[in-house]
Structure 1
Amino acid sequence: MAEKDKGGFFSEMFAPVGGFGVTFATMFRKVKTEEYPEVKRPTQPRFHGRHQLNRHPDGLEKCVGCELCAWACPADAIMVEGANNDDTPGGTGRFSPGERYGRIYQINYLRCIFCGLCIEACPTRALTMTNFYELADDSRADLIFTKEQLLAPLQPGMHAPPHPMAQGMEERDYYQGKVDGGTR
């Protein structure tokens, strides 16, 4: 029994030295430093980064203001306020092919956990996630993105809303992908 106690005594005595051995061994390894701001590594294709509100090929917004993304968000980071499209003379005009559009759309990146549940909830594929990941800022207010910041840029052939639906097209034609950018 005395020999067992000696083994326990020696293992306790050399335990701090064993930890130092690990530290000492890593001191001479080459450090793998990433030159992050200067050299950016590409992200994987399915990386969940900043959100984007997409457009139809003619420029109308895909968001119909249904607010399902806000309901699906577990972090309560999305705020959507829908409004009716108004094609009457003197009205606000048409922003999306549906009855409604997202008049106010905000994502609070201080709360967002990038889970992608909002993307799954969107019935029109209006909301997707890009590969952009540089969202750090020194102002809390700058991390609440508005609709204007989230909307996809207008591509050649697109027209800025509000404008009427493409001539001869109905709402379902937009969602079936039958509308192209040149149709007016």
Structure 2
Amino acid sequence: MAIKIVVRRPLTFAERTYLPQIIAGLKVTWDNMMRPPVTLQYPDERPAIPKNYRGVPTLVADTNIRITPGEISETSDNAHVEKAPKEFEINMLRCIYCGLCQEVCPEEAIFLQSQYSLTGLTRESMVNNKAKLYELGGTLPDNHHKWDKKKEEAEKQAGGQH
């Protein structure tokens, strides 16, 4: 076996000092420095929320009904419904904002609001009971797409009866 000796060529001044690499890095830095910023100064600037954004789940009371869902008196015939929850709460630590609770709500009272910043200091403060959910949701039936669809359907039915 023959041993082949490989002779390295000597490095140039630029290769020894890494000047081409430093200049390339400074060019990238300069290009990024001249671009407009893409971040927001969060507490002062708020991002634009899409129309169908799924945020915090809340309960919304309808202004047209006298009894809100879950507030039926004990003397009523419907007081002992078989599958009614004894207590109603949403644990925001486990919520993944999927919207399934909104879809399956038989009273159509659960809505995912456009509120995206919900914080708490303790775990207990992140579990929202019915009173807290009503406080977050309020009475906003006209701000939701579901009510718009129902109004359109009612208008079509009323228009077809004449």
When the two structures are superposed, what TM-score results if normalisation uses the length of structure 1? 0.49
C-alpha spacing 1:106/1:24, structure 2 compared with 1 (3 Å)? same
C-alpha spacing 1:108/1:26, structure 2 compared with 1 (3 Å)? same
Structure 1: gaps of 5 or more residues? 1-12, 65-83, 89-93, 156-176, 178-184
Structure with more of its chain in helix, by fraction: 2
Aligned-partner SS, 1:114: coil
The one-letter amino acid of 2:74's match is D
Bigger mean CA deviation after superposition, 13-22 or 41-50: 13-22
Q: State the distance in 2 between where 1:44 and 1:123 align.
A: 26
C-alpha spacing 1:19/1:153, structure 2 compared with 1 (3 Å)? same
Please point out which of 97, 110, 113 is paired with 2:96: 113
Please point out which of 146, 150, 153 is paired with 2:138: 153
Structure 2: gaps of 5 or more residues? 1-17, 141-153, 155-162
Q: Which has the larger radius of gyration?
A: 2
Q: State the distance in 2 between where 1:59 and 1:97 align.
A: 16
In the alignment, which residue of structure 1 is the partner of 2:4? Answer: none
In the alignment, which residue of structure 1 is the partner of 2:60? Answer: 54
Q: State the distance in 2 between where 1:98 and 1:129 align.
A: 28
1:110·1:143 contact (CA, 8 Å) conserved in 2?
A: yes
Structure with more of its chain in strand, by fraction: 1
In the alignment, which residue of structure 2 is the partner of 1:168? Answer: none
- Percent identity at matched positions? 24
C-alpha spacing 1:127/1:97, structure 2 compared with 1 (3 Å)? farther
In the alignment, which residue of structure 2 is the partner of 1:30? Answer: 36
